[in-house]
Amino acid sequence: MKNLTLLTDLYQLTMMNGYLKNGADENVVIFDLFFRTNPCNNSYTMIAGIEQVIDYIENLKFDEESLVYLKGLNLFDDEFIDYLRNFKFTGTIYGVDEGTVMFPYEPILRVKAPVIQAQLIETTLLNIVNFQSLIATKAARICSAADGDPVFEFGLRRAQGPDAGVYGARAAVIGGCVGTSNVLAGKRFDIPVVGTHAHSWIQSFDSELEAFRAYARSYPNSTTLLVDTYNVLHSGVPNAITVFNELKEQGYEPKGIRIDSGDIAYLSKEARKMLDAAGLPNVKITASSDLDEDVINNLKLQGAAIDFWGVGTNLITSKSCPALGGVYKLSAIEVDGQIIPKIKISENPEKITNPGYKKVVRIYDKENKKAQADLIMLDSEEINTNEPLTIFHPIYTWKKKTFRNYETKDLLVPIYEQGKLVYERKTIKEIRKHAQSELDSLWPEYRRLNRPQLYKVDLSKKLWDLKNQMMDQFREE
């Protein structure tokens, strides 16, 4: 991964310079990275981008070209430039495994570092995690709507730049897609690549049949034909059947057709009838054409005869929800080894932060392994699973639930300890497998596309008391 050290907001650098000038650069702070609202009217967010966060930290270094540029801004003196020349991240980062499903206000990453270091990395951490988590979540919704049918990511040409295309494809596979049209993403992340031909291939020949035959000659073992250039049912499918029969006579097994426009439900059902009548029941039908989870769900309800789904624009841009509003907030400082909690107060209740050095614990039913609730706790707290555990809603405190036959899991795991990478890095296949197990741990009510049940995320009694004491203190002032 390339050096992204300057991929930051200018105010991060001006604050860093201010900390240095005021002798506060070595003050140790704790920041939490979290989001306030799930995207796409979903009940969960699938976290992606942790491996790129590691790449970023591993390559965090101000090279001479960058220092010359910063010096030329006439904002920073030689003392700060010299400090940056020797900059190295020495902090501690805990975070969730990539592919974990998370919920509003839960720390995804917890950074403990000298303030000058913790401040620099804010923007890039948010840039990486916000985008990839958004696309992974959108992909999970789309794959859920496909109900087990393979989904391909086809969005590169509509992605908002090359990086969005590459990392969006990666996130889509974490969310459940089985392949991508993006060759660079395929190479970089070992993702299966898929694709056939465009309408221009058909148009460049004198006839559709000739174009199909030419493509079949080129790829006899993997012939999938795009049938909607002229007329799906009157020419596309009949010509495809002709070529498929010719392939079978030569000893090859034709793969499928793709429909990219028109009434997908009607056309696919009619095409299926025609293929079956021609003795081609194994030929698969792929649909593309501005699909998303709602369109796919609707097509499934109509009985569309689709085997594979190619989803482009609406996936790679998360068109219905173009951003995940992740934030990075100071939650504590360390003074002489003691953690001092900090809180942000706001007129908007949803912007009041949870103070202190925290962790997230997930509570599972011990028998069926389904996730029951999450508890945001102070890091020093422990749960005795041999005793009943009662949690309560952080706002409607009379809403309580007691668990008896349960087990717990700490979601934040060490990634960096005092600047040293201690995390075992994962392949895309391992991440995707974990993501699927995370989805499987959720009850269907939390995964439904429309009006899902809200998952329980509560504060421990100690954290709830601390937060309310600090809010009362500021109200009195």
User: What is the 3-state composition of the chain as percent helix, strand, coil, each rounded to the nearest 5?
Assistant: 40, 20, 40
* Residue 332 shares a structural domain with residue 448: yes
* Residue 296 shares a structural domain with residue 351: no
What are the phi and psi torsion angles at 207 (to 5°)? -150, 160
Asked if residue 399 belongs to a domain, the reply is yes
* Residue 301 shares a structural domain with residue 163: yes
* Residue 85 shares a structural domain with residue 146: no
Asked if residue 126 belongs to a domain, the reply is yes
* Residue 311 shares a structural domain with residue 371: no
* Residue 334 shares a structural domain with residue 437: yes
Q: What is the pLDDT of residue 424?
A: 97
Asked if residue 409 belongs to a domain, the reply is yes
Domain-ending residue, one of 257, 287, 316: 316
- The whole domain housing 391 covers 10-135+322-476
Asked if residue 2 belongs to a domain, the reply is no
pTM for the full model?
A: 0.96
Asked if residue 417 belongs to a domain, the reply is yes
* Residue 119 shares a structural domain with residue 190: no
Angle at 443 between CA 380 and CA 153, to 5 degrees: 100
* Residue 255 shares a structural domain with residue 333: no
Q: Answer whether 424's CB lies under 8 Å from 413's CB.
A: no
What CATH code is carried by the domain that includes residue 27? 3.20.140.10
Asked if residue 4 belongs to a domain, the reply is no
Angle at 164 between CA 158 and CA 167, to 5 degrees: 125
Domain-ending residue, one of 316, 351, 370: 316
Q: What is the pLDDT of residue 468?
A: 95
Q: Answer whether 203's CB lies under 8 Å from 212's CB.
A: no
How many domains is the chain partitioned into structurally? 2
* Residue 59 shares a structural domain with residue 117: yes
Q: Cα 82 from chain centroid?
A: 37
* Residue 295 shares a structural domain with residue 333: no
Instruction: Tell me the pLDDT of the chain (477 aa) as tens digits.
Output: 689 999 999 999 999 999 999 999 999 999 999 999 999 999 999 999 999 999 999 999 999 999 999 999 999 999 999 999 999 999 999 999 999 999 999 999 999 999 999 999 999 999 999 999 999 999 999 999 999 999 999 999 999 999 999 999 999 999 999 999 999 999 999 999 999 999 999 999 999 999 999 999 999 999 999 999 999 999 999 999 999 999 999 999 999 999 999 999 999 999 999 999 999 999 999 999 899 999 999 999 999 999 999 999 999 999 989 999 999 999 999 999 999 999 999 888 889 999 999 999 999 999 999 999 999 999 999 999 999 999 999 989 999 999 999 999 999 999 999 999 999 999 999 999 999 999 999 999 999 999 999 999 999 999 999 999 999 987 765
Q: What is the pLDDT of residue 1?
A: 61
Domain-ending residue, one of 272, 299, 316: 316
Q: What is the pLDDT of residue 219?
A: 97
The gap between the terminal CA atoms of the chain, to the nearest Å, is 48
* Residue 289 shares a structural domain with residue 329: no
Asked if residue 333 belongs to a domain, the reply is yes
What CATH code is carried by the domain that includes residue 284? 3.20.20.70
* Residue 228 shares a structural domain with residue 359: no
Please give the Cα distance from 43 to 448 (Å, whole number). 8
